Structure 1
Amino acid sequence: MGEEVEHQEFSRADRTQHREKVRRSLDVLARMLAEARFDADDPMTGLEIELNLTDARGEPVLRNAEVLDSIADPDFQTELGLFNIEINSTPRRLRERGLSVFEETLRASLNQAEVKASASGAHQVMIGILPTLEEGHMVPAALSANPRYRLLSDAILAARGEDLRIDIAGAERLRTTSETIMPEAACTSTQLHVQVGPDQFPAYWNASQAIAGVQLALAANAPYLLGRELWRETRIPLFEQATDTRGEELKAQGVRPRVWFGERWVTSIFDLFEENVRYFSALLPVTGDEDPLAVLESGGTPELSELRLHNGTVYRWNRPVYDVVAGEPHLRVENRVLAAGPTVADTIANAAFYFGLVRDLATSERPLWSQMSFSAAEDNFHAAARDGIDAQVYWPGVGQVPATELVLRRLLPRAAAGLRAWGAGEDEIDRLLGIVERRCVAGRNGASWFVERVGERERAGDERHEALRRTLLDYTERMHANVPVHEWD
């Protein structure tokens, strides 16, 4: 959820000052982009995973601070809800066997953390939405202690002027309201990062948008929310609604939502930052002392903290990132499409597919986005979130096609070519893309397995919550075994 923010109240003057500072920072970013101050000759990739905490019965545990104290590892951090934590992996270069190192270190870190967390009665689960969550977990008291989360919740509810409404129609229907943004905490994701230069960014972002639907179809892992079977990747509509600052009137006027797929292909990273400033008011108008122009003209690297903080409260599924590492500025595409889990093996296979495919598409002589409307990419995204591994998507030159068929026939070879361009090892490519291939052949991902298993238990006589709880325990056992989901019985 981003950097920590001190608890404070904001005046109208604070908001005016903050807006002026953000616009000044935007001007400085434009100058930095024009002067080519970014180095991405040997780019890094990154990985973050959000986790849920449960007890031995599979019920939510609301003690993330205690669990983090037990784990005592700076790679693990708080998230929005008391039943969430996050692990951040050290960035890697794929040409240095980065995929294998991601897998080995992530597996080792999670295993060590599980041993320590279990001593306090908590267990980690990688899944898009914890199926055993109930209405009682969506209350203000379940927010994590970091003041940022309370400030965000208060700001979003104040902008709306009314409680949040969650209304999702899928296999079943859920209608509920919330007085905080706690429903957002139900959404736990995998975030993939690709470092790029300013000239490369538009192609990588456009390619990421174009394949977002295919990613979702392959890796959907969030079919239940508050006891209801909804979309195969219910995170998508839930996150869109759980941070919506618009009342019904503003929706009718066409005001843009804060969780946003976007509305066009871009030609510069500046397009996205400028849209964020133009369309969205600040939720956290915290203003620092830095004069970004003075820092730049003195030969330094400005932090642009106000622009970065504002950017962190506009929730694009593929987010532009400006960051400063060891005094050097860099740019990233942050791919936020995927749910957490089911296993580390599946997670790294999903990462390999994304990193490889986005590289191949971004460096293609004939860009995919010149052949495909932006609205078609957005339609694919929501169709895949709804239908998961059974989704039909549109692809140029093919038309409507099952997502699994598209991956098997066209996209896996391109992902392999992209991974070779990154310098990944052939053994890594074969093993990880092989997991994706066999998942497509089996027609099974986390969401489809979970729904099938719950259905079996209900037909055997379990009530819904008991079926969800027992299935989650089965899921957790298989997650720890690290056998890819397509092999689960």
Structure 2
Amino acid sequence: MGEEVERTEYSRAHRREYRRKVQLCLDVFETMLAQSSFEFERPLTGMEIECNLVDSDYQPAMSNSEVLRSIADPAYQTELGAYNIEFNVPPRPLPGRAALELESDVRASLNAAEKKANSQGAHIVMIGILPTLMPEHLAGEWMSESTRYQALNDSIFVARGEDIQIDIAGPERLSLQTASIAPESACTSMQLHLQVSPADFAKYWNAAQVLAGPQLALGANSPYFFGHELWAETRIELFTQATDTRPDELKTQGVRPRVWFGERWITSIFDLFEENVRYFPSLLPEMSDEDPVAELAEGRTPKLAELRLHNGTIYRWNRPVYDVVDGRPHLRVENRVLPAGPTVVDMMANSAFYYGVLRTLSEEDRPLWTKMSFSAAHQNFLEAAQHGMDARLYWPGMGEVTPDELVLRQLIPLAREGLRGWGVADEVADRYLGVIEGRAKTGRNGAVWQVETVRALQERGMARPKALAEMLRLYCERMHSNEPVHTWDISS
């Protein structure tokens, strides 16, 4: 859920002082990049899975406080909506059979959490957007109990000065106004972390940006919001609009959105933090007592709390992370592209594909991002979000290509090579890349299965709301089977 804050209102003097402190942190960070010893010798991966809670009728269950008390595991935390929880998977090394052990551990943990949730009349669902969520569910007490979330909501609307317009085109266009950031709570993702050295950060981030379009086309799992069929991965556009601090006039001026793909390839992690400070005013100007200059001078590792908090309110799809563990600083690329679900094996396959391709792309003598414009990578990302497996993507050396052709001809071999480079066992690569291959060959990801199932149910005479609930029931059955989504049928 991010760092908690202590207040929901901030004075003008407080904001001015916070800006000064953030700039000071940035200066210290620049010095650290040149001088400090960062932890990276044993690359670790991490995963966060955001989940939804539903009741016995597969409607949103606003009961995360009760469910979390019952689960009683610090790995599970609140998220923005009272019907959301987040599962933080402890960091692991990549090599050997670690991923198979991780899959087993994640399934066991989620199964145990599901049993505890059942005792509170709830079920846990891993899906990009809960398809049964409707406007009336977000009209009452929808927000988790957290000063941070209330402060974030208030700061966004103070900055914006008016209600937020949600307008998403698609097969069934949705247009509405909202007086809170409640629609953002619908967006549940899985986040992948990779610890890297300062010297390697830029090439890994650039590679992640290149990969974002194909990654999203393969993994789309959010076709419905408020009962409307919209994008294959509606979460991308919904998250962008639901947290937008810009009224129309600022958009017209070219002011950047806080949910941001970026606008250029980088040469250092510093580029991203410097952009954050230069372009984005604070949303949560919470101050710490730390003097980062003094900490560094004393030979200690500064926490840079203000810079980290500021970074946490700028929602890049591939976000830079600075953190301190056991007194040692480290850097991570946080990949926020993918939705949650459909199954643990699907998410593990998405992870293996990502880490494998990322390794190979980042080590090429002539990197792919030197052969394509940044705007082409951004366009791929938006095209994949809208159309999923039906997208048309640009790829150097291939021109415009479909995701299945790109994945089968180019990316799976790159992923296999990269996993070998990480020291991942062949049986791990075979299991997870086999899932990716199956998805590419069938053209069926979570979004495709959801839409096909709802259409089949409606053709049998079900109204849309009932069809969405029944589809979600079938989805949950199959989610617990841990059979990959491309093998799912659509019969009841």
Normalised to the residue count of structure 1, the TM-score between the two structures is: 0.99
What amino acid does structure 1 have at the position aligned with 2:326?
Answer: A
Cα RMSD between the aligned structures?
Answer: 0.8
Equivalent runs, 1:359-370 vs 2, <5 Å? 359-370=359-370
The 1-side partners of 2:195 and 2:101 are apart by 18
CA shift, 1:366, in A, is 1.0
Write out per-residue CA displacement over residues 113-137 of structure 1, whole angstroms, 9 at most, x where no aligned residue. 0011101100000000000001012
Take 2:169 and 2:334, find their aligned partners in 1: how far apart are those partners? 29
1:2 partner SS: coil
- Provide the residue aligned with 2:414 in structure 1: 414
The answer on whether the counterparts of 1:168 and 1:175 sit within 8 Å (CA) in structure 2 is yes
The answer as to 2:111 corresponding to 1:99 is no
Query: Residue 336 of structure 1: CA displacement?
Result: 0.1
Would the aligned equivalents of 1:140 and 1:182 in 2 still touch at CA under 8 Å? Answer: no
Counterpart of 1:473? Answer: 473
| Contact persistence 1:139–1:180 (CA under 8 A) | no
Q: What is the count of residue pairs matched by the alignment?
A: 489
Residue 484 (structure 2) aligns with: 484
Task: Indicate whether 1:374 and 2:374 are aligned.
Answer: yes
Q: Could you report, residue by residue, the CA deviation over 1:159-178 in whole angstroms, capped at 9, with x for unpaired residues?
A: 11001110000111000111
Superposed CA offset, 1:186-234 (max 9, x none): 0000000000011100000000000100000000000000000000000
Cα deviation for residue 36 of structure 1 reads 4.2
CA contact (8 A) 1:140 1:180 kept: no
Give yes or no for contact 2:216–2:385 (8 Å, CA) kept in 1. yes
In structure 2, what is the equivalent of residue 190 of structure 1? 190
The code of the aligned residue for 1:248 comes to: D
1:398 corresponds to which residue? 398
The answer (yes or no) to whether the contact 1:286–1:306 under 8 Å persists in 2 is: yes
For 1:159, the aligned partner's letter is: A
Task: Tell me the residue number matched to 1:237.
Answer: 237
Question: Counterpart in 2 of 1:130?
Answer: 130
Distance in 1 between the 2:363 and 2:200 partners? 9
Deviations 1:355-404 (A, max 9, x none): 00001101111101000100000000000000111211000010000011
Contact 1:143–1:182 (Cα < 8 Å) also in 2: yes
AA partner of residue 101 (structure 1) = E
Kindly provide the amino acid, as one letter, of the partner of residue 248 in structure 2.
E
SS at match of 1:384: helix
Q: Give 2:270's aligned residue.
A: 270
Structure 1: unaligned runs, 5 residues or longer: none
SS of the residue 2:110 aligns to? helix
Q: Distance in 1 between matches of 2:297 and 2:404?
A: 52
* CA distance in structure 2 between the partners assigned to 1:237 and 1:271 by the alignment: 25
1:383-440 CA deviation, whole Å, 9 max, x = no partner?
A: 0000111211000010000011100001101101111111111000011000000111
Contact 2:348 2:432 in 1 (8 A): yes
Residues in 2 aligned to 1:391 and 1:131: alpha-carbon distance in whole angstroms: 22
Partner of 1:224: 224
Instruction: Could you list the structure 1 runs, at least 4 aligned residues long, displaced by more than 3 angstroms after superposition.
Output: none
Alignment match, 1:309: 309
8 A contact 1:53–1:60 mirrored in 2: yes
1:44-443 mapped onto 2 (5 Å cutoff): 44-139=44-139, 141-443=141-443
- Structure 2: state its 5+ residue gaps: none
Corresponding position of 2:449: 449
Tell me which moved more, 271-280 or 99-108.
Answer: 99-108
In 2, the alpha carbon distance for the partners of 1:413 and 1:214 equals 14
**Structure 1 CA distance for aligned equivalents of residues 398 and 45 of structure 2:** 31
8 A Cα contact 1:96 1:424, kept in partner:
yes
Q: Secondary structure at the match of 2:132?
A: coil
Q: Contact conserved, 1:36 with 1:198, CA < 8 A, in 2?
A: no
- Percent identity over paired residues: 60
2:2 paired residue number: 2
